Amino acid sequence: MKAHTKESQSTMTPEKAVQFLSEGNERFQNNLKANRNLLQQVNDTSEGQFPFATILSCIDSRVSAELVFDQGLGDIFSVRIAGNFVNEDILGSMEFASKLAGTKLIVVLGHTSCGAIKGACDHARLGNLTKLIQKIEPAVDAVKEPQEEEKRNSKNLEFVDAVSAKNVELTIDRIRKESPVLKEMEDDGDIKIVGAMYNVATGAVDFL
């Protein structure tokens, strides 16, 4: 499989981009990697890049977007931050990726058993981590069940995963609200903004 070119990127649609990632994750789950010559891709992309998707994911060592979607060099822009939320810099990066570099899809990828989400559920406080956790805590408040306080913490993995999925949803809302550039592109059908959850136990990605 060769690196994407300007021509292949120009024929890509948001729907096809989702399909490409879904097929890649199927290969990953079945331990069937696409046949790639990465050194050849280094050469092919040395004078330019034409990725088809932008993926915002967590820094978690188990959730490398390139690996779980079985993508090669030059295929995706990968943005990583604990808790996969957005700020001004990340939104700017996404605007560059979509408006200037031509990606057709933005994926906000959460995952199960997320440490940052667990920290938010426990309202952890530690140095600079405190401000990061506070950016995720609205997702904790938005999940109404269970109501019992003793069940609304990191020991309840079902609650943690529900908060993680809600965080993906709220992050997508923020992208649309805080980036008129991306909102307009989505409204015009040039891109799609979608959410997904990665299961660290199975390797499966479910698009929300």
- 114 belongs to an annotated ligand binding site: yes
> Is the residue at 68 inside a domain?
yes
End-to-end Cα distance, the chain: 28
pLDDT tens string 73-123: 999 999 999 999 999 999 999 999 999 999 999 999 999 999 999 999 999
- 161 belongs to an annotated ligand binding site: no
> Is the residue at 78 inside a domain?
yes
Question: In the structure, what pLDDT confidence band is assigned to residue 4 with cuts at 50, 70 and 90?
Answer: confident
pLDDT value, residue 190: 98
> Is the residue at 123 inside a domain?
yes
> Is the residue at 194 inside a domain?
yes
Does 3 score more than 90 pLDDT? no
> Is the residue at 1 inside a domain?
no
Structural domain including 113 reads: 6-207
> Is the residue at 153 inside a domain?
yes
Q: Which residue has the higher pLDDT, 28 or 47?
A: 28
Instruction: For the chain, count helices (H), then strands (E).
Output: 9, 5
> Is the residue at 70 inside a domain?
yes
CATH number at residue 165: 3.40.1050.10
- 89 belongs to an annotated ligand binding site: no
- 121 belongs to an annotated ligand binding site: no
Average pLDDT (130-140) is 98
Q: Which residue has the higher pLDDT, 38 or 90?
A: 90
Max CA-CA distance within the chain?
A: 57
Q: How many domains does the chain have?
A: 1
